[in-house]
Amino acid sequence: MITRGVNRVASNLKYSGVLNLGGVRGFATPQTGPHVVASQAPGNNTKAAAVKHHAQRPGSALDKASELFFFTEILRGMWVVAEQAFKPPYTIMYPFEKSPLSPRFRGEHALRRYPTGEERCIACKLCEAICPASAITIESEARDDGARRTTRYDIDMTKCIYCGYCQEACPVDAIVETQNAEYSTETREELLYNKEKLLANGDRAEAEIAANIVADHPYR
């Protein structure tokens, strides 16, 4: 009676999964059953596969030992320094020397004129509309010939993000960004550009602006 009761309890525990008697087997005994299939699922062997892959990396311990013994990383860094020692320097003596600038460099703004001296701006206000920083303010009036001209053209340089959208939107190349990046001021008011200031910038840099537009024209 006692033996029969023990066998019955063991049988119940086995089928309920608490006691896995099938796990104790020989090497020739095939392992089957639903619990075995679940344990052999790809998701359950991820960690084991990663550990196995890490352990089977060829020469990982030897590589680390050689790097530590021969200081290969230090020698590699010294080789880079030695290569640079025989190359010309990258530094320049600014402001006496300046690096070349791209024709697309976006610096200080300017308003341009035609060779006749007439202002290019036609007061279409596309630059004012496209400016993402709302830095441009334009007011205009009608001329005698029916066209329009600007009476006010202000740029708040403290708001400008130098995206170049104003220059891209202008249909007559009136508003441009020059290559001048040296216009620091002592007061905020000096960075509030009006029409006269912008026209003066354009008159001063017209030759440079025209050359940059010609150089960049094939790529537009």
CB 154 within 8 A of CB 193: yes
Whole-structure pTM value: 0.60
Strand-strand pairing, 175-177 and 148-156 = unpaired
Fold of 109-219: Alpha-Beta Plaits (3.30.70)
Give the DSSP per-residue string, 43-91. Answer: GGGHHHHHHHHHHT-TTHHHHHHHHHHHTHHHHHHHHHHHHHHTSPP--
Beta bridge partners of 150: 140
Beta bridge partners of 140: 150
Predicted confidence pLDDT, tens digits, the chain (220 residues): 445 554 554 555 444 444 444 444 444 444 555 444 444 544 545 555 555 555 455 567 877 777 777 778 888 889 999 998 888 888 889 889 988 999 999 999 999 999 999 999 999 999 999 999 999 999 999 988 888 999 999 999 999 999 999 999 999 999 999 999 999 999 999 999 999 999 999 999 999 999 999 999 888 7
Measured distance CA(97)–CA(80) in Å, rounded: 27
